[in-house]
Structure 1
Amino acid sequence: MEKLHFYSKILVLVLSLSAAVEVAESAIGVNWGTISLHRLSPKNVVDLLKDNKIEKVKLFDADPDSLKALMGSGIQVMVGIPNEMLALLSSSASACDLWVAQNVSKYVVKGGIDALPLYSLWTLLNLESGCRYVAVGNEPFLTSYSGQFQSYVVPTMVNLQQSLAKANLGGTVKLVVPCNADAYVSNLPSQGAFRAELTQIMTQIVSFLNSNGSPFIVNIYPFLSMYGNSDFPQDYAFFEGTTHPVVDGPNTYYSAFDGNFDTLVSALSKLGYPQMPIVIGEVGWPTDGASGANLTAARVFNQGLVKNVLSNKGTPLRPGVPPMDVYLFSLLDEGAKSTLPGNFERHWGIFSFDGQAKYRLNLGNGYLKNAKEVKYLPSRWCVANPNRDLSTVASHFKLACNYADCTTLSYGGSCNNIGEKGNISYAFNSYYQVQKQNPRSCEFDGIGMITMLDPSIGDCRFLVGVTDEKSLGFRSDSGWVPSSALSRTAKEKDKILHINITIDVLIRRLVGVSMVIVEFFSGLVLMLAAAFATADSGAAGFVLAAAHEQVTRNAASSSHVRAIAKLLFLNISILEWMHQMPDMRWPIY
């Protein structure tokens, strides 16, 4: 009788959980990118997520520092695989096994709890809401890629699914493929269809997703629609109603988001999957760097989006069925991102690089809270010396902006109207902070000067960097800058001061397999570059070229991954030995 009573309780619990899943509201998550000049520590970021009750986060890679910080936090994680890795993973089952072991299994602990976590009861019941995702590529079908990654996606998914099954994670970790909205086309939502050249592969992918209980992930950006088309009605990009609605038969659309969403619904329906769950992988509004990218517009858009999604009203083609989840783009600004799409690309964060809320935004759990215990550099700035001739400043200005972030100075930016001297000071300070306030990084042939007075002007903020030791840049003279660099020419010193930024950005773009590889090559090449960056201007370039070749070769062959790991241990041993030599200054990354 007691056993029967126990089973009845379990049945009630299962039914209750099942009912909860059916009525579960959409969750608001965030994208956490790390292409930053001033990187907040992973612990700070995870604390920021927890303080703001953000329970889902999407990563663009498998950065071990981020995953370690997330482990046991209760935050559900979507781990990303960069597009550059797809060729390797599509052709090598052993590479997939290794990737899963290093980036998924490693963060699963006993009891079914992992970095997300995967709560054991939910895992046993195989409920979808308890699953962890692995994103296979990021927008691999983007038209600008010209099909570069297209043939690798499905084979990679097949290999990874087998690797997950070997690790006993096939039923709990779901594979997904984040797609850009340009994967489908139509003038009206009801006529939505995938691009002709994608029909076959999308049929395969959607069938795979459906078979494994995975959603379709799409990135929707009304801002980009408005930014790239002067005829696009601005009010249609938001959620406050429009004087230019789209009438599609019996349905009327008042926002670009709803229209875009239903275009995808129609495209999926044409493939035979009208009810496939949809997750919004990226959506947001930038706050700087372009006309229309500002704090007010970002607040109005993001608050309207949250209200729209959490209302559960759905869309004309899916009334009462909102997106399964929505990931805001993004959590933090990323000052080292490519500006090829536009200068706004570095300013999508709802928080600034240091975890400070940019505007009042309620994600459903109260207004945003700032990051705590952020460690800043001292309150000092580098500005243009008003008593010096600025006629030769152009080359210094260009140099500073090449290695720091000056996008707020562009048309429509928050610092666009601060004048010539203001522009110079902003560029100098941005570079100075990237270099961890190294006094020599404010020289600029005597044009720069250090001040303790905040030079910020109106809405134009002159930043102070954070002290996370894994951020890009050098410490001051007593730290990582090699003593031999201090007596070299300005050109040679510039070369050494820039070298670790160049190396880090280069390798991050070339390698997506693991931050272990990135850290090893960053440290190794930095030491070589500092040693060989002499009067010979081609020496540093030679080292960079060698690093490029070496990293490319290793990234293209899974047989070298273990060798790189072994070299890492050797590198660590060397660094530990160097740290035991207090009288010497070593160029340690």
Structure 2
Amino acid sequence: MIVQMLKDNKIGKIKLFDSDHWTVKYFAGTGIEVMLGIPNKQLASLADSYDNAKDWVKKNLTKHLYDGGVDIKYVAVGNEPFLTSYNGSNLETTFPALKNIQKAINEEGIGDKIKATIPQNGDVYDSGSAGPSAGQFRSDIRDLMTQIVHFLQDNDSPFVVNIYPFISLYQNPDFPVEFAFFEGGATPVQDNGISYTNMLDANLDTLVWSLRKVGAPKVKIMIGEIGWPTDGNKNANLQMAKRFYDGFFKKMATKKGTPLYHGDIGYYLFSLTDENQKSIAPGDFERHWGVFRYDGKPKFPMDITGQGYDKMLVGAKNVKYMETQWCVFNSDIKIMDKVPENVDYACSRSDCTSLMEGSSCNSLPNVGHISYAFNMYFQMNNQDVEACNFEGLAKIVKANMSTPLCHFPIAMESSGWSLRMHQTGAVILTGISSLLLVLYT
């Protein structure tokens, strides 16, 4: 389904967070270019042993490179490994792992075609309160980043950076909203004769300056993740997401780059579909980054060519749902004493992020909040009758409880997931894919 959805929308490149063979094999013969991912938890093993790196390349990369196989272009070694929240846990392993993987790729005779890199968070460089020209790599990792970017430059590998204007807005109440978008309405940031009217240009040129200052000005820059969530926060909604993507696609279509980095910039959108089990530690919006809903339905019209011809993307085909039924609050109940604890139980074991303040379902009446929580738990437990009890507070109905703003989902049916759930006891509702990022160029 995923591959067909990508092809239907003429999406020719994809980035994975892992390299599981069961997933990667589906891209064989599709013409879709793939970036494989190596999770941070594997970095130590690849850093400690070159043999482990060689084994990884043989098992996860070269086995796909046959006539009619998978078109693999990049290997992402780790993901944002130098986040300050990791407390330096990946500082000793990331660069050695990168070198070992690229060496193993080179020894296979494919180093001219496949490059290893490290997707970084934009926090690895900064300009303080000054403009981009003050940019430099973070002081605690500057020496390490200098070694890494010179390695990338020597191997013709890109610097991949994840940039999120939404998160800047979310984390800083003083962040100028217009600076997150591309209409030119923000108060410009003046720097060395250059006027910056959006965060993306300013951020990327801060990276350009950082590369220049460590003697690696020729490194190609690629955006590893960029997007806008549609729920879970007052600024995460369909209107603002559409505004962001419309401006972003239009900018990318010009192929002019930034004031200092000229030309076309490759980029990966985060993400393909919503993920109802993603960690919400950074915020409730984390489960709502998809340009498609959990079931592969497009959320709003967009024009990925940047020419302004809005249309709905082509959704996933042949999606099978479970029975058309919902679990809701039993309105016959008059004593509400047990409601709070049952709602808390349901939400702690499902996904109630759409109920949070500023979210799409927050405006529901109290009974609607209760029903939404009960239904999410019910659907995420595959509509098990026992999952719609809540000490007699709930009932199963055939009437759709959705409103124009708030969607009450139905679980998808999947033989593959059913087998996995039977074997592991896992509870999966939704999210056609939790691994995919989309690249449009």
State how 1:443-458 maps to structure 2 within 5 Å.
443-458=389-404
Q: Would the alpha carbon gap of residues 107 and 390 (structure 1) be closer, same or farther in structure 2, given more than 3 Å must change?
A: farther
Q: Does 1:321 align with 2:263?
A: yes
SS in 2 for 1:350: coil
Aligned to 1:488: none
Distance 1:53 1:438 in 2: 38
Decide whether the 8 Å contact of 1:315 with 1:322 is kept in 2: no
Root mean square deviation of aligned Cα: 2.1
Q: Does 1:53 align with 2:13?
A: no
State how 1:17-96 maps to structure 2 within 5 Å.
44-96=1-53
Q: Does 1:169 align with 2:126?
A: no
**TM-score by structure 2 length?**
0.92
SS in 2 for 1:331: coil
Decide whether the 8 Å contact of 2:351 with 2:376 is kept in 1: yes
Aligned to 1:235: 178
SS in 1 for 2:210: helix
Distance 1:98 1:267 in 2: 35
SS in 2 for 1:458: coil
Aligned to 2:187: 244
1:419 aligns with one of 365, 381, 385: 365
State how 1:145-224 maps to structure 2 within 5 Å.
145-186=86-127, 187-224=130-167
Aligned to 1:306: 249
Distance 1:68 1:438 in 2: 33
Q: Does 1:465 align with 2:425?
A: no
Distance 2:99 2:256 in 1: 36
Aligned to 1:260: 203
Shift of 1:472: 7.8
The total of aligned residue pairs comes to 423
1:377 aligns with one of 298, 322, 329: 322
Structure 1 gap ranges (5+): 1-43, 118-131, 482-495, 503-511, 513-589
Could you tell me which amino acid in structure 2 is paired with residue 439 of structure 1?
V
Distance 1:59 1:273 in 2: 27
> Hey, which bits of structure 1, 4+ residues long, moved more than 6 A?
472-475
Could you tell me which amino acid in structure 1 is paired with residue 203 of structure 2?
N
Distance 1:501 1:83 in 2: 25
Aligned to 1:407: 353
**TM-score by structure 1 length?**
0.69
SS in 2 for 1:135: strand
- After superposition, the C-alpha distances for 1:395-441 in whole angstroms (9 at most, x for unaligned) are 22122112211100001100001122111111111111111111111
Q: Would the alpha carbon gap of residues 90 and 164 (structure 1) be closer, same or farther in structure 2, given more than 3 Å must change?
A: same
1:133 aligns with one of 61, 68, 74: 74
1:277 aligns with one of 220, 226, 234: 220
1:287 aligns with one of 226, 230, 236: 230
Aligned to 1:429: 375
Aligned to 2:297: 356
Structure 2 gap ranges (5+): 429-434, 436-441
Could you tell me which amino acid in structure 2 is paired with residue 291 of structure 1?
K
Calculate percent identity across the aligned residue pairs: 43
Aligned to 2:438: none
Decide whether the 8 Å contact of 2:380 with 2:427 is kept in 1: no
- After superposition, the C-alpha distances for 1:105-130 in whole angstroms (9 at most, x for unaligned) are 121113xx53126xxxxxxxxxxxxx
Structure number with larger C-alpha Rg: 1
Distance 2:382 2:47 in 1: 41
Distance 1:395 1:470 in 2: 34
Bigger shift: residues 194-203 or 464-473: 464-473
Q: Would the alpha carbon gap of residues 472 and 341 (structure 1) be closer, same or farther in structure 2, given more than 3 Å must change?
A: farther
Decide whether the 8 Å contact of 2:153 with 2:218 is kept in 1: no
Decide whether the 8 Å contact of 1:96 with 1:163 is kept in 2: yes
